[in-house]
Structure formats: structure tokens, C-alpha cells
Amino acid sequence: MKQDFTIELSSDNNFSVLNRIINILNRRRVRIKKLMGFEDENDFRRGGIILLVHTTTDLAEKCKLQLEKLIEVDVVTVHDGSTAYIELSERIVDVD
């Protein structure tokens, strides 16, 4: 059964990293409901992305493993539901 998941991801910040991440999800036809990317305020070479996706638990877990394989990606965490997305995005907006 499909449900919402929040994917929290930290990575290097370069020109292609967002495309790499989206490719992983698009190829597996994972629906992206919301997305927010940000640059680390202390180091522009680092950054992160949070995504709210709608998919199955199995596919969310498999996408996590594929995302972790990306060379630039550091840590990936998958949270059930949208609460984490709302909290994380508010924190990012507050920083900005």
C-alpha cells in the first residue's frame, strides 16, 4: 500500500546532484509531492534535499539504498509520513 514518506538527504552541493536524486525516483515512478533543496549556510559545497514522496514501504527502502549509492550523497534517512517534511522545511525556511 502506498503512503507518504519524507526522504531527508545530505550531500555535496554541485550542479548535477539534484538531477541524480530525481532520476533515481523518476526511474522507479515514485511520485514526488514536495521537494526542498538547500545549501549549507556554513559551507556552500555541502547541502541537502528533503522530499515528500508517495510510494510503498518496499520502494521507499529500495530508493534509500539507491540514493545512498550516489557518490555525492552522504546520509539518507526515510521517515514515515509528512510530519518530518513539514518540520524540516520549516527549519530550513527559518534559517533562510
Partner 1 sequence: MDALQTKVEPKPKAAVKESSPERISGSEILLRSLVEEGVETIFGYPGGAIMPVYDALYHYADKLTHILVRHEQGAVHAAQGFARVSGKVGVALATSGPGATNLVTGLGDALIDSTPIVCITGQVFAHLLGTDAFQETDVVNTTIPVTKWNVQVTEAKDIASAVAKAFYIARTGRPGPVLVDITKNAQNEIIDAAEYKKCEGIRTYRPRPVLQHAQVDEAAQLINNAKKPYILAGQGIILSGATKELIAFSEKTGIPVACTLLGLGGFPTDHPNYVGFLGMHGNYGPNVLTNECDVLIGIGMRFDDRVTGNVSKYAKQARVIHIDIDKAEISKIIPAHVPVHADAKEALRALIDKCKINNHKDWLDKFHALNEIENDKIIQKEFNPSGPLVMGEVVHLLSEFTKGEAVVVTDVGQHQMTTARYYEYKNPRTSISSGGAGTMGFALPAAIGAAYGAPSKQVVAVIGDGGYQMTIQELGTIMQYKIPIKILVLNNNFLGMVRQWQELFHGKRYSFTEMDNPDFVKIAEAYRIKANKVTKREDLAAAIKEMLNSKDPYFLEAVVGKEDNVFPMVPAGASVSDILLEAPQK
Residue 55: strand pairing partners:
3
User: Which residue in the block uniquely carries the three cell numbers 538531477?
Assistant: 19
Residue type present at position 42: N
The minimum distance between CB 23 and partner 1, in angstroms, equals: 5
Closer residue to partner 1 (CB): 74 or 90: 74
Interacting residues toward partner 1 by CB under 8 A: 11-12, 15-16, 19-20, 23, 27, 62, 65-66, 68-69, 71-74
Please tell me the distance from the alpha carbon of residue 84 to that of residue 34, in angstroms, as a whole number. 12
SS3 (DSSP) at 27: helix
| Residue with Cβ nearer partner 1 (34 or 62) | 62
Query: Considering only CA atoms, which of 31, 35, 19, 21 is closest in space to residue 76?
Result: 21
| Least spacing, CB of residue 24 vs partner 1, in Å | 9
Between residues 64 and 86, which has the closer beta carbon with respect to partner 1?
64
Cβ at position 28, least distance to partner 1 in Å: 11
